[in-house]
Amino acid sequence: MINRLQESDIKLLRVFYAVASCNGFTAAESVLRMQRPNISAAIKKLEDRLDLVLCHRGRGGFQMSKEGEVVFQETKRIFNSFDNFVFNLKSLHDDYSGHITLVMMAGLPLNYHLAVSKAVKSTMKKFNDIHVNIQTRLYNEVEHVALSGECHLVLSTYDMVKPESVTFHPVDVKCRGRLYCAPTHPLAKYADGLPDTVRIDDYPAIGISGLSSGNYIDGERRLSIQTFSDSYDGCLSAIMTGEYMGLLPDYMVEHQGKDLGLVSIKNRQFEFNHELFMMNGKNTRLNPVLRHLIKEVAYFIQQTEK
């Protein structure tokens, strides 16, 4: 088992990372510019070094083991941080080339993803030899990845107390949302407004991990949070059971919930307006490439709101 990483181990991990990212040996050949027997030998050597089975290969196709999934995620963090280090180091010499990692909060609408793609294209056109890794993280992870050095920039809504170690760049867009339930939920019949005789805390609700608890309190009323999800998508699934109500952004309901018959509990309580931000850790050096990307993301997202 490895006690200290050597240069040869890093090379083996890069092979595994490519194979895992491509979901197979054959697809990784062109990425690694290696033949399959050499790739297979490298993976076997890494497994021996780690004393772990990282993947299963055979007639059933390529499949990572549970241990392989963990190693893959940790490897991704290592290489993201390393790529960011190299990019920042080059920036000190006014060399704006290399890999940028941009993390988007999971569950953002498609038009924001399209806006980001336009911003990335604009940035790559302006600066030669720039490559952008676009990844997603759950709501409760975005602050950590901004701080940890795993990425350069994060695009996310944010409604908690802003830590001093993170720099926030407003996009001047707010993501509005409200309380929703399924058409089979007992409160669905009160879509035009809850009567004073109905106690909202008598009905179970689902919360979002990492979302400020203030979202679940409105005046004298508070939601009875009985369970949590780590994303709006998971929250939507729980709401559709008819057993829970929960907070959802309006864009999700407009794009995904119309056909589901989701009901907004329209008493103007538990409505929210979460600002959209580009974020970076204070240790990230905002060179001209990153500043341009921040400006372009904000511009193209604002265009989608018009």
DSSP state of 54: -
Indicate yes or no: pTM above 0.85: no
- What is the reported pLDDT for 299? 96
Question: If 0-12 CB within 10 Å is exposed, 13-18 middle and 19+ buried, where does residue 270 land?
Answer: buried
| Residues 9 and 47: beta-carbon distance below 8 Å | no
**DSSP strands (E only) in 182-303:** 204-208, 217-218, 221-222, 224-229, 245-249, 263-264, 272-281
Angle at 11 between CA 10 and CA 12, to 5 degrees: 90
Which pair of structure tokens corresponds to residue 134? Answer: 């676009």
Q: Compute mean pLDDT per 10 residues along the chain, 306 residues long, and list them.
A: 77 90 86 88 91 82 87 86 79 79 92 96 91 89 83 89 87 92 90 80 91 86 91 92 94 77 79 92 87 96 88
Q: How many other C-beta atoms are found inside a 10 Å radius of the C-beta of residue 185? A: 21
- What is the reported pLDDT for 268? 64
- What is the reported pLDDT for 154? 95
- The count of residues in the chain is 306
- What is the reported pLDDT for 258? 66
Distance (Å) of CA 157 to CA 8, 106, 232: 41, 10, 12
- The residues that bridge with 225 in the sheet, in sequence order, are 205
